Amino acid sequence: MSGRSPEVLVSAFLALLSPDKLSPDIIIAGVKNMRAHALQFPINRNGVIDIVGTGGDGLDTFNISTSAAFIVASCGVPVVKCGNRSSSSKCGSADLLEALGANITLDLTYSSEIFKRCGFCFLFAQKCYASMKHVGPIRKQLGIKTIFNVLGPLINPCIPDYQLTGVYDRSLGLLFIQCLKRLGVKSAMIVHSEEGMDEISIQGKTHIWHLKLDGNIVEFDVTPDNDFGIKKQNLSAVISGSPQENAIKLNKILSGGYECAILDHVLINASAALVITGRAKDFRDGVVIARESINNGKALQTMNDYIKYTQEYGSSLQITAQNYGQLVPIANQTLSVDSNNKACNICATSTLPYVKICGLCTVDDALAAAKAGADLIGFIFVKKSKRYVSVEIVKAISAALKAGSWSKCEEVESISVIDWHQQRCLNLIQLINHTNRPLLVGVFMNNDIKEINSIVKEAGLDLVQLHNYEHEIATQIHRPVIRVISIEPTTDVQNILQMIESDSASAAILLDVVKTSDDCGQTFDWTIAKMINKKVPIMLAGGLTPDNIRAAVRFVHPWAVDVASGVEYVDSSEQLCKNHIKIKEFINEAKSGAASNQ
């Protein structure tokens, strides 16, 4: 998934993991690995259902699960559907939604806001699992079904409580339901029809594996007429058209008064989802509830709201946040430097957001960060931290970075404290642009002020980052201060803004998650950061990784971002080490996220 394995090795690995050779242990390991490489979806999963199929049944029927999802959501059951474009049929879920006018390429943070507003959202698999690009071409060349044909319905980033999942092969039914149980799903149905369909059939018998709320798994068969009170129809009546044709049909169906086999097919699958979540007492009751949501207009309203909100958020991506826009011209100023200067090869011309790589402990790591384009590098002088570094090591790093390079580090001394506090981050940006190496940041928590100033002078630091200090202390520090404000789920934005507005001392504000451990790697609600950033330009930290930084930048528009654990690994001696490849990926993704906003 990292893209670092040879293609031959990946091909052999995938060939061995054909669907008929899979066990629950193998599938669950695959699911966990995929989730580890996925973007995080910031919502509460409670009560959420996903309605999805493996695909690959070769029957090319209408988009039943996507249509049913709107109905189920309109009945008060939250739906987070993860899907993709069609690979074999005429119209996949992503194709249908685009034809309806939805913007499916939104980042997950925007999708979470849409979900909160209408109870439905679609997660585009290509956005959630960008690392799949490394195996996609190989899968296509192999031309056979692999473990990825099975994993799709199991890796929704939301990790829903409930699932209605269709499988293309009956042999996968028991395997899937066992995996869902072990993965912590509360209740689910795996379905496979006698025609080979990965949905409940409108034509004949469908076998169901049902994981009940009590943890028991039961198996049984259903038919449209006996169990749902719906007349059987031939599958030829529910064949898919083009995305545009399917969009027109779905609009007619949800508008009411359009009786057809596709409507009946959608109703029986929506009914099953309502039974799984406890919204309906049985399949016949589920059909009644689903039909009523069409008759009262709620199903159509849910679909239209979803489309409207995706368009609104999509348009907002074209508008750069006010503070962000003000900083761009300053950030893009360049300085003419002698091309023979060695430092020109270390730190490339920067654009927003600036990137701080924190917790560096070796000269090699610092040089790797500088060569990758880091704008600031942080050293932690908190002795209880796993990333604690001595003054001697920082002096060696500083010397290595400054060797043979032009630096205006000494100019920090000539800038008055008052000027720094008035200009805030604008002066920091000017300093970054006029220094041909990353700025050196010392990170302190509960250190004595005299100790901080002594380390600043001895190590040659450019900036100081303070945790757990009152803002007045910044006036006593001999370098510009980055003040850290910890964000909790209960944080009141207005209180934070008042705190910042009363702080006339700090040169910059960094928002971070409340730390529960030295390497907690947790994010906080970026909506809070976005609201604060509309008033005060911020630096953003907390659980950032190469996989989520692009989304964070596009949503929050910070002037700078900060990462430590997101670019680390634990070695055999249980020491935290910087991953040079991840550092480069993080910086590239951060800058790319900003570029996509402009």
pLDDT for the residue numbered 436: 76
Buried b (16+ CB within 10 A) or exposed e, 126-161: ebbbbbbebbeebbeeeeebbbbbbbbbbbbbbbbb
**Cβ 82 vs Cβ 128: under 8 Å:** yes
**Cβ 465 vs Cβ 442: under 8 Å:** yes
pLDDT for the residue numbered 455: 95
pLDDT for the residue numbered 311: 83
Kindly report whether the peptide bond that precedes residue 353 is cis, defined as omega within 30 degrees of 0: yes
pLDDT for the residue numbered 141: 65
Q: What is the pLDDT along the chain (598 residues), one digit of tens a residue?
A: 445 556 666 666 666 667 777 888 999 988 888 887 777 777 777 899 999 998 878 888 999 999 999 999 999 999 999 988 876 678 889 999 999 999 998 877 778 889 999 999 999 887 777 656 556 566 666 666 777 778 888 989 889 999 999 999 999 999 999 999 999 999 999 999 999 999 999 999 999 999 999 999 999 999 999 999 999 999 999 999 999 999 999 999 999 988 899 999 999 999 999 999 999 999 999 999 999 999 999 999 999 999 998 887 654 444 333 444 444 444 444 333 333 333 223 333 346 799 999 999 999 899 999 999 999 999 999 998 999 999 999 999 988 887 634 233 333 333 333 333 335 556 667 677 767 789 999 999 988 899 999 999 999 998 999 988 766 677 788 888 899 999 988 888 888 888 887 777 788 899 998 765 555 567 888 889 998 888 788 899 999 999 899 989 988 999 999 999 999 988 777 788 899 999 999 999 998 866 555 4
Q: Is the pTM of this model over 0.85?
A: no
**Cβ 393 vs Cβ 419: under 8 Å:** no
Distance of CA 466 to the CA centre of its chain: 29
R_g over Cα of the chain: 27
CA distance 245 to 247: 5
What's the Cα-to-Cα distance from 321 to each of 295, 313, 487, 498, 581, rounded to whole Å?
A: 42, 13, 21, 21, 30
Q: Is the dihedral of CA 136, 137, 141, 142 positive or negative?
A: negative
Domain positions in the chain are 7-316, 353-595
pLDDT for the residue numbered 415: 36
353-595 to CATH, choices 3.30.1360.30, 3.20.20.70, 3.90.870.10, 3.40.50.300: 3.20.20.70
**Cβ 99 vs Cβ 244: under 8 Å:** yes
Long-range contacts, stretch 381-384, CB < 8 angstroms, 24+ apart: 381/442, 381/443, 381/444, 381/447, 381/452, 381/455, 382/443, 382/444, 382/445, 382/446, 382/447, 382/467, 384/518
CATH architecture of the domain covering 7-316? 3-Layer(aba) Sandwich (3.40)
Tokens of 197: 């369909």
pLDDT for the residue numbered 425: 59
pLDDT for the residue numbered 5: 59
pLDDT for the residue numbered 236: 94
**Cβ 95 vs Cβ 243: under 8 Å:** yes
DSSP secondary structure letter of residue 388: B
